[in-house]
Structure 1
């Protein structure tokens, strides 16, 4: 069961194992909330049985266990109990850390150095609180973004699931309750989190948001009434004498330098205005900055809500 995107490898690798060896899996079906999702498209291409959400009990007959990844729906007891071995969730954090919808993004937002995947029993009425049957850790590189981390966790989660399937009954029998110590919540994110509040955030804080969100919500601000998105940026080890939001151009480095909170500086190498193509910093200078007085060389906060 899942709505996972094409970067996740759970269904493909489980399917390949099933086709190559016949071990551990006699049959495989996929439950999808909508048919346009990559999991459904993969299943159609490879002739894997697809069951629409919400499945009827008779559609699940013969299945021993259900696995869920990034599904986003509370699963009722009637469906959970349809599986003799219950249901297992593959979650992209080391539970109880970062329960909720966006664990990878919040992991990167908080500049954590370690994360992993957790396999847990699904319980009705609450997300990500079931007993743990397995987990695996990995280290996070200092400048790793959420997109890269998602792909690595997908591989790790797939490997952990393959391992789990080899001894599923034993693992279920040895499941351990989650502790509430260290528990945290990772709520859904939206575009407002990527809004550049120049006077409130330092360059490092904005760059951290870039690492966490740019694959879904690039950093954005306002330029002369237009939304501008910053596609490549990084903090600079220098301070500025300008006010927050004001922008300068470095001829030496060929990048924009935007002043942030505490006079810190965010460099921008690539950006995009609404309705325009992606442009370099030099393109922006020639096409936009040079057409207004220097005292108007300033990015606004945009629609920060």
Structure 2
């Protein structure tokens, strides 16, 4: 069997964005962890360059030429973390697959524990941080995202949807069938299986630099989850419409009765404006929700791609042999 196409025990997928200086340390620690597990020659590390602002791709090419276990994918344009992960998942060869970040906050020493959890019979294994090293606002956003995932996706309570996780190859094969442009990996996992566990890990401080995630990206991630894998926001809009209609009916009865009992009752201009603005705001919110769904449907019907691969560190002809 060709070396580029043979089956391996483990594939590690890492989306890369602005981490050129961290990558050499990352692959060294991963290799040491795999050596301790006796898998030095039976794993691959797939680095997906998400069109970052630095020279990450040239660093990946150098690392791949010097380390047989490193494979690189270069995206032509920035696709986002989850779509970059999908690019990696579409090219894995391992019987088990681990997804981890590029900033070394996910300790490679935990790879063995993740693999053993899958070997014990679970389809997916997440990690639970014992001491999170994120900023307070990011931790608050994660807690909100966790609550919404429980509400919208039926996530088991107590399960933290971390970005450091392991999946069986069978689960990956189901996930990559999704062809929508707005990918949310955890939503796809929860759609595929209920056999999920977690292991505790020590969350490390970022090796250097600052996180690329900001409030806008966290909000975008929440919108993907809310509108790509659940219709609950649309139902919320419907319930809100019924509630406002009932409230309006009560208000009409109240105004009529008040006018009959107290003809001198002055008209309430301020209260009228407040009600109009409130109802208008709710209507705008509901229209926005519907528009978000329609927009995503439109882009999917027009076959907008999840990612566009500009190059790899291996020859496609060799991999297809």
TM over 0.5, shorter chain: no
Rg larger in structure: 2
Normalising by structure 1, we get a TM-score of 0.27
Normalized per residue, which structure has more helix? 2
Q: Larger relative contact order (C-alpha < 8 A, sep ≥ 6)? A: 2
Normalized per residue, which structure has more strand? 1
